[in-house]
Structure 1
């Protein structure tokens, strides 16, 4: 393009004033929706994705219950929600979409277990649970799911007494960070217990093999996703790439750019020029008009065109009305 880069930025500066309005609710009931949030510059954007298009999004500071509720209330409840397991999202789903089935993302389950067991567990119980986790990633049928549940139940029964081992507090003994100073004992194998609790909760809440439920399979023949990878590798990756390529954007511009990106990923993106108004092109005129309207609305009554005694519009008395001698 002709001219300098600075000149080009100056010519298009008005474009940053064009804001993207919230997505228009369509009322379409999606069979499955992936829900996840991505962070940047102290902000978090929550995204609802149907596997092909962005359905809606919501800005917040972190993934908390109230922020998720604001997003979920604008979207009809789907048959299945695929989530990463955040506590705020789980609480919002129970209140806003109580009838929707939940599928926990296998990738996040794997990460949660690996965080507790590490890459190379030392204890036999940890090695066996890590092996069960690797098998879980390969489950593809209901028969394999039933077999996995049996293997996991056998693991719990085998190591139940082992996981009840306690460590008594002693003078000068180092305590785990999760143990209070007033505790006289704690469970010895806390990481193993936390990993076990992850699976216990998933099994109790029936959100580990939802994707294999034949009654929930869509009529289109498309399978229910078991991970949020399409969302992670789609809109979330596009946001990270956008901000990487345009490093140094002011916070306001970064949010505007992400809004435009997500708008372009919806099923029916709006034409940008349809959102442009005259005041976007000429902000000085908009400021001038706003200032004039503000002055007129705040001006005292004596400055209007109404009759006022204080303006001197009446019979005058005093020195000015005397006759000269």
Structure 2
């Protein structure tokens, strides 16, 4: 099982390298995505209820709790369906009155339909033991990698990729001897060749091949607000 925060590149890598791997969407990120749309202080009762459901996601740790959460969410969708359908017409176009709440609902409904919200519960039932529902444990490592790149932000792209290789190699549980690391770590030409090969197969339109993961999504860092 692989726990993902929703990055498309990670899911594609898993399907290519480990086809049998099942995906668990990080429940913390799933709840945070809802909060970005509802805010932490929703003005509407519909939004307050949805925020409460999202906050209870972290407590659904077994099959019974997961079933109860899904029932609560389904009940919320049914009760507020008509409310979320309200719209106005502007220049002949339909504009939904509560578009942000609709986006919050869409984010959860997509995960429910895909079955990625409670994969960790199913794995526990099938294989026993405890399975993680979040990837927060690795975020501290990722933060240190980002800090390293920030401190060396003048590096060319190829050298930034190699710097990440070295950082990971030097912090593995059982690091190889320096001479062995030098033998196996990709060279500049090898990294450049991989990048060129990936680029020739097409990218996302932002100059980075799909195999290199998702680019920056500013919505992950900023709440959309209107300028005064």
1:86 aligned residue: 7
SS in 1 for 2:24: strand
Instruction: Give the distance between the partners of 1:154 and 1:163, measured in 2 at CA.
Output: 14
2:194 aligned residue: none
Instruction: Give the distance between the partners of 2:60 and 2:6, measured in 1 at CA.
Output: 20
Instruction: Give the distance between the partners of 2:153 and 2:90, measured in 1 at CA.
Output: 51
Instruction: Give the distance between the partners of 1:133 and 1:94, measured in 2 at CA.
Output: 28
1:269 aligned residue: 175
Q: 1:276 to 1:102 in 2, by over 3 A?
A: closer
Ranges in structure 2 where 5+ consecutive residues have no aligned partner: 184-228
SS in 2 for 1:137: helix
Instruction: Give the distance between the partners of 1:101 and 1:158, measured in 2 at CA.
Output: 32
Q: Which has the higher strand share?
A: 1
Residue 113 (1) aligns with residue 34 (2): yes
Q: Which has the higher contact order (CA 8 A, sep 6+)?
A: 2
1:169 aligned residue: 90
Q: Give 1:23-102 correspondences, 5 Å limit.
A: 80-91=1-12, 93=14, 97-102=18-23
Report the CA distance between 1:90 and its aligned residue.
3.8
Q: 1:275 to 1:148 in 2, by over 3 A?
A: closer
Ranges in structure 1 where 5+ consecutive residues have no aligned partner: 1-79, 171-182, 278-325
Once the two structures are superposed, residues 180-233 of structure 1 have per-residue CA deviations (whole angstroms, 9 ceiling, x without a partner) of xxx522222111111111111111111111111234445xx4x21111112212
Once the two structures are superposed, residues 273-311 of structure 1 have per-residue CA deviations (whole angstroms, 9 ceiling, x without a partner) of 34559xxxxxxxxxxxxxxxxxxxxxxxxxxxxxxxxxx
Report the CA distance between 1:143 and its aligned residue.
1.2
2:155 aligned residue: 250
Q: Which has the higher helix share?
A: 2
Instruction: Give the distance between the partners of 2:89 and 2:100, measured in 1 at CA.
Output: 17
Residue 199 (1) aligns with residue 99 (2): no
Instruction: Give the distance between the partners of 2:6 and 2:153, measured in 1 at CA.
Output: 32
2:73 aligned residue: 152
Report the CA distance between 1:253 and its aligned residue.
4.9
Bigger radius of gyration: 1
Report the CA distance between 1:267 and its aligned residue.
4.3
Residue 239 (1) aligns with residue 145 (2): yes
Q: How many residues align?
A: 181
